[in-house]
Amino acid sequence: MGNKCCSCDSSRKRKSGSSSYTQQTPPHLDINPSAVGQHPQNLTTRKIVVALYNYEARDSQDISFYKGDRMEVQNNSDPDWLFVQHLNTGRQGYIPGVLVAIELSVESEDWFFENISRIEAEKLLLGDTSQSRGIFLIRTSEHIPDGYALSVKNWDMDNGYSVKHYRIKRMDTGEYFISFHQGRKKAFNSLAELIVAYSEMNLPNLCYTLTKPCRKPEPTMKDLAYGYKDKWEIPRDEIELVKSIGEGNFGEVWYGKCRNRFEVAVKTLRKTDTKSREEFLQEGAIMKKVQHRRLVRLYGICSKGEPIYIITEYMANGSLLDYLKKDQGHTLKFEDLIYIASQVASGMAHLESLNLIHRNLGARNILLDDYNSIKICDFGLSRFVKTGEVYTAITLDLKFPVKWTAPEALNYPNIFSHKSDVWSYGVFLMELFTFGQIPYEEIPISEVPGLISSGYRMPKPEDLPTEIYKMIEKCWHEQPNKRPPFKDLEYYFESIDVKYSDKSQNSQNLVLIRNGPHCYEDHNLKIK
């Protein structure tokens, strides 16, 4: 994103940090005009950052701060960890770059959400129960280069809670205005001024007066603490196994604590033979190379002593498969399932771009958090390939996920590619839209490969829209090169808007609309 700054300074309430700060000797003071965390604003003229969240120091080299605190950047050669001086306490130390933004920039505003989709905005707004109407956010536009969109939570008797989206356009003079069906343009010098006006005045055309910014989820930090940066080996005595939460390819998965403070997931190696050990460590090596918001983040390993641990971020709701089968899973609406499908496709598209074949995609290997956000896990069978090449397995393990595996990978010479992952994604979609039903449930596993090779495909579930089932069938095309790439699948599910033909919001009465300009309130297209 460019250097877009708000012209007005909003007053902020600040607390002085009382946590233990550690005085540090600053490293070299060369200010490199690069990104601050995920906020690529220029630091040559503004070296003050403002905290977007609270943060408690995690080791002797970083410092604590509260939301709204101001700090001067002393060194930003590593955008993940900035060396700063706290302007209130005078303390110096490292802070996570992802938790701050340049002061007065649009990224520093509570209402600004960078690089989230329309469907993500709706999930966040509808999931925020702190206020019934008028909660809002501004996000970068999916359809207009350098444009913005205003998303507002609304309520009415006919539709209940919903989200309205408005395009924010910029005039040649640099002023901003909301695009409506009709009426004069009311322009403002900055996005901040626009927000203030629509919060304080009863201006026409907006569905409701803006009340407060949507609650913003805290981003995942790259490292547990600065002291763990680029640290592959974590001392075993810093990890506590608290509760067993599942089984992985190699052994148990535990909910644990690091240094008695940080929640983590711990994968353990059950067997100690050399081959299992090498494969287990290979999984950790792969996870270290692939970082994406839809992939589980690796923090480190414990390879000294037994058993070996892989330490990853912890996802509170566990596996998507288990969640779908429980009562809370059946509270998910169809639009929630579409959102999950789009996120999985996004993560797999990233793996595809890295030439990494997952080989074990299924609802069991997708984790869920409190916002219905997902992360793909279990890279124990994953393999890197060169562009355009495939991976040929010499043998398949007896525990290999046969029902999720493409026919060309099941039959000799066991060829795997990104297109075999697409096949698995189609099977995952059936799990998703049937709330965790077992694929080919009535068919013995030994008969599945033969049936698939002869052209059999799982039938369409009764409540699943035909359009979506046709996309699933494309994922199961017998010719791998005719299956869609994950980037297309990501776009397909992100562009679906779910509406209902009556108040019941029953799956029998849903209407799928392709997202585009008509999803904004200044478009005249009506749903019939």
Size (the chain), residues: 528
CA distance 492 to 514: 8
User: What residues form the annotated binding site?
Assistant: 267
pLDDT at 261: 85
Class of CATH domain 1-108: mainly beta
- Tokens 């998910």 locate to 332
Please tell me what DSSP assigns to residue 188: B
What values do phi and psi take at 310, rounded to 5? Answer: -115, 125
User: What residues form the annotated binding site for ATP?
Assistant: 267
Contact 248, 380 (CB under 8 A): yes
Domain limits of the chain?
A: 1-108, 112-200, 232-313, 320-494
Cis peptide bond upstream of 27, omega within 30:
no
What 3-state DSSP class applies to 457?
A: coil
CA distance 104 to 106: 7
Please tell me what DSSP assigns to residue 89: T
CA distance 444 to 452: 13
pLDDT digit of tens for each residue in the chain (528 aa)?
Answer: 444 433 333 333 433 333 333 333 333 323 233 333 334 344 445 589 999 999 999 888 999 999 999 999 999 998 899 999 999 999 999 999 999 999 999 999 999 998 888 888 998 998 887 777 899 999 998 777 778 999 999 988 877 888 999 999 988 898 999 987 555 678 999 999 999 999 987 777 888 999 999 999 888 888 888 888 878 889 999 999 999 988 776 778 999 999 888 899 998 877 666 666 777 777 777 777 788 889 998 888 898 888 889 899 999 899 999 999 998 888 888 989 999 999 999 999 999 998 889 989 999 999 998 778 899 988 767 776 666 665 555 455 546 789 999 999 888 778 889 999 999 999 999 999 999 999 999 999 999 999 999 999 999 999 899 999 999 999 999 999 999 999 999 999 988 877 766 555 656 666 776 665 445 555 433 322
CA distance 422 to 168: 36
Give the full edge-to-edge strand order of the sheet including 112-113.
112-113, 136-140, 148-156, 160-170, 176-178
Class of CATH domain 232-313: alpha beta
Of 435, 421, 431, which is closest to residue 458 (Cα–Cα)? 431
Distance of CA 155 to the CA centre of its chain: 27
CATH code that applies to domain 112-200:
3.30.505.10
CA distance 370 to 36: 27
Please tell me what DSSP assigns to residue 300: E
pTM, two decimals, is 0.79
Helices and strands (H and E) in the chain: how many: 10, 23
Please tell me what DSSP assigns to residue 509: G
CATH code that applies to domain 320-494:
1.10.510.10
Contact 79, 35 (CB under 8 A): yes
Q: Which residues have CB under 8 Å from 174's CB, separation 6+?
A: 189
Q: Which residues pair with 93 in a beta bridge?
A: 84
Q: Could you write out the DSSP letters of every residue in 397-410?
A: -TTS-GGGS-HHHH
CA distance 271 to 297: 24
Q: How far is CA 404 from CA 362, 443, 449, 473, in A?
A: 7, 14, 10, 14
